[in-house]
Structure 1
Amino acid sequence: MKVAFVGAGAMGLPMARLVLRRHPVTVFDPDSARTAQLAAEGARAVGSAALAARGAEAVVVMVATPAQLERALFGDDGVHAGIAAGATVILMSSVGIDCVAEAGRRLEALGARVVDAPVTGGAVRAATGELTVLAGAAPGVLDRVRPVLDLVASRIAHCGDRVGDGQAVKLVNQLLCSVHLAAAGEALQFARTLGLDPAQVLATIESGAASSFMLSDRGPRMLDTGTPPVLSAIDIFVKDSSLVLAAAREAGAVTPLTEQAAALFSRAGRQGLGRNDDSSVIRMFQNAAQNP
């Protein structure tokens, strides 16, 4: 299958690398250094999303924000200008229900098929092909691109037949991730304040009832005395927690814990930490302890 990747960042690049093992891949990213890495491994790098989509049977779009998705799909040199009728666009960005549903309608009007397919698992699992795909699409449309998705995911969860159903489940996922991330930072700083060795506490509790993926994955980076590599930026959680709150308001859901976590991420962004790894959220608790 001829596959295009639009977006080769922390998630898109390792995913494209896995797909490249089995299928020819054409890739576009505004950062040519990223596409150069894939080109060195056999991918074809091009200068626009339109050129990437041209001739592709499946177009994977992995960008970070609604604005980036709009540009990637419908900008002057966007996917819309190169997509062929009958091709399938796999929208893997986490950008909210309404955004993806509207993009899906516009793409389908061009004759494309659309799979709403946000993922969970982070950059670590993107590199190993062990992501979970949260798919919203008619079963027949989803089945067409399973050969691609199976290379990047250990589980493909069919969340519903509508484009947007995957996004809805991802919002539930991000509610939990937001709260768990904030709680992990609070807990490890609490351990330090109690005079404990937080690394020892982490090793002790992460296998018990208080364990979570965010604690085990982010905890060691929270305790890193240097600057951890950016695997997922705080700005991503500013965006995702805001999407959760917007959907909650529209649905009439009560989300006080997410509101607190979102406020924490926003404050970290205002303090210049937005582009830091999201494990840096522990600094907010450290700063509060030092400046009560």
Structure 2
Amino acid sequence: MRIGFIGLGVMGAPMARNLQEAKHEIITTLNRSPLPDGIKAEVLDSPADVARACDVVITILPDTPDVERVLMTEGGVLEGMESGKLMIDMSSIGPIETAEMARAFAEKGVDYVDAPVSGGEVGAKNAALTIMCGGSNAAFERAKPLLEVMGKNITLVGDKPGAGQTCKIANQIIVALNIEAVSEALVFASKAGCDPAKVREALMGGFASSKILEVHGERMINRTFDPGFRLKLHQKDLNLALQSARILQVALPNTATAQELMNACAAQGEEDTDHSGLVRALERLANHEIG
């Protein structure tokens, strides 16, 4: 299949490689060059050209305005779409804006699935992403064979576009609060005089065990903050959570706290480091580094 794939970044590049290895042909447009290592793609001038050349377009872009620009403006994907084609947006963006864009595609007879992902760069490379989808069952079934090339846990969350984004926001709330909890625990234990590596080892055998403790706890101890998932992108996701919560009149007090700790890290120039670097905000408050 000829697949339009726009967004060949940290996540998108390995996802596109997996599609390519499954014998799909990749068509793209680039804001920058060259193509990422391992990607062989036909490069066209605009998102509209990509849409005209393909039956399916997949996007994975940083934020809501980026998706709106690529999909909805002059020369965008919508302009090049025809009835019967399929649009899959795998970005993590606002659910309200997603629903609005999906309506515009539906008016042209185009199926739309929002399919944000979780699992980070490692999950993208290993084709082991969790993918949360919103859209009609028919659109989901069309998208599923492609999603299965990129992920393992693929769920249709709701029958309308935007449901996947809502689920991803919930995911990011849980991840952020887990990072904050592990950070607090390791800073506390370390400042009390314990070896944080030994504390982590002990906790991994009990009810406090989690993927965050396993992966990000080790990052915190070893000071390996090269990004798997950039802190500024998690900031963006928590902004979406808090904006949506205001509309829904839902209190998210601990989400707001985690966001403020990420803001403190960003203020120190750490927005492009891994989101596990949230621990450094708590270390500064405690005047104590665990590593």
Alignment map for 1:93-132 (pairs within 5 Å): 93-132=91-130
Pair 1:280-2:281 in alignment: no
Partners of 1:93 and 1:212 in 2: how far apart? 25
Structure 2 gap ranges (5+): none
Tell me, yes or no, if the aligned pair for 1:55 and 1:84 is still in contact at 8 Å: no
Other-structure match for 1:146? 144
Alignment map for 1:209-248 (pairs within 5 Å): 209-225=207-223, 228-248=225-245
Cα shift at 1:243? 0.9
Cα shift at 1:208? 2.1
Structure 1 moving runs of 4+ over 4 Å: none
Cα shift at 1:51? 2.9
Q: Give the residue type in structure 2 aligned to 1:187.
A: A
Cα shift at 1:4? 1.3
Tell me, yes or no, if the aligned pair for 1:11 and 1:122 is still in contact at 8 Å: yes
Tell me, yes or no, if the aligned pair for 1:55 and 1:83 is still in contact at 8 Å: no
Question: Secondary structure of 1:85's match?
Answer: coil
Moved more, 181-190 or 143-152: 181-190
Pair 1:37-2:37 in alignment: yes
Pair 1:68-2:66 in alignment: yes
Task: Please give the TM-score of this superposition, normalised by the length of structure 2.
Answer: 0.92
Pair 1:254-2:251 in alignment: yes
Distance 1:207 1:269, change over 3 A: same
Other-structure match for 2:25? 24
Cα shift at 1:212? 2.0
Partners of 2:26 and 2:111 in 1: how far apart? 19
Question: Secondary structure of 2:4's match?
Answer: strand
Question: Secondary structure of 2:227's match?
Answer: coil
1:257-277: CA deviation from partner (whole Å, max 9, x where unpaired): 111111111222122111111
Cα shift at 1:38? 4.1
Question: Secondary structure of 2:154's match?
Answer: strand
Cα shift at 1:215? 2.1
Distance 1:283 1:142, change over 3 A: same
Structure 1 gap ranges (5+): none
Cα shift at 1:81? 3.1
Other-structure match for 1:12? 12
Cα shift at 1:152? 0.7
Question: Secondary structure of 2:155's match?
Answer: strand
Distance 1:284 1:51, change over 3 A: same
Tell me, yes or no, if the aligned pair for 1:50 and 1:81 is still in contact at 8 Å: yes
Moved more, 121-130 or 73-82: 73-82
Cα shift at 1:46? 3.4
Other-structure match for 2:82? 84
Cα shift at 1:58? 1.3
Partners of 1:185 and 1:84 in 2: how far apart? 49
Partners of 1:211 and 1:257 in 2: how far apart? 20
State the Cα RMSD in Å: 1.7
Q: Give the residue type in structure 2 aligned to 1:193.
A: K
Cα shift at 1:47? 4.1
Matched residue count: 287
Q: Give the residue type in structure 2 aligned to 1:14.
A: P
Tell me, yes or no, if the aligned pair for 2:105 and 2:111 is still in contact at 8 Å: yes
Question: Secondary structure of 2:226's match?
Answer: coil
Tell me, yes or no, if the aligned pair for 2:13 and 2:36 is still in contact at 8 Å: no
Partners of 1:11 and 1:50 in 2: how far apart? 22
Q: Give the residue type in structure 1 aligned to 2:62.
A: A
Alignment map for 1:144-183 (pairs within 5 Å): 144-183=142-181
Partners of 1:29 and 1:189 in 2: how far apart? 43
Partners of 2:76 and 2:149 in 1: how far apart? 25
1:217-245: CA deviation from partner (whole Å, max 9, x where unpaired): 222222224x5321111111211111111
Partners of 1:229 and 1:285 in 2: how far apart? 19
Distance 1:36 1:15, change over 3 A: closer
Pair 1:54-2:55 in alignment: no
Q: Give the residue type in structure 2 aligned to 1:18.
A: N
Distance 1:203 1:49, change over 3 A: farther
Task: Please give the TM-score of this superposition, normalised by the length of structure 1.
Answer: 0.92
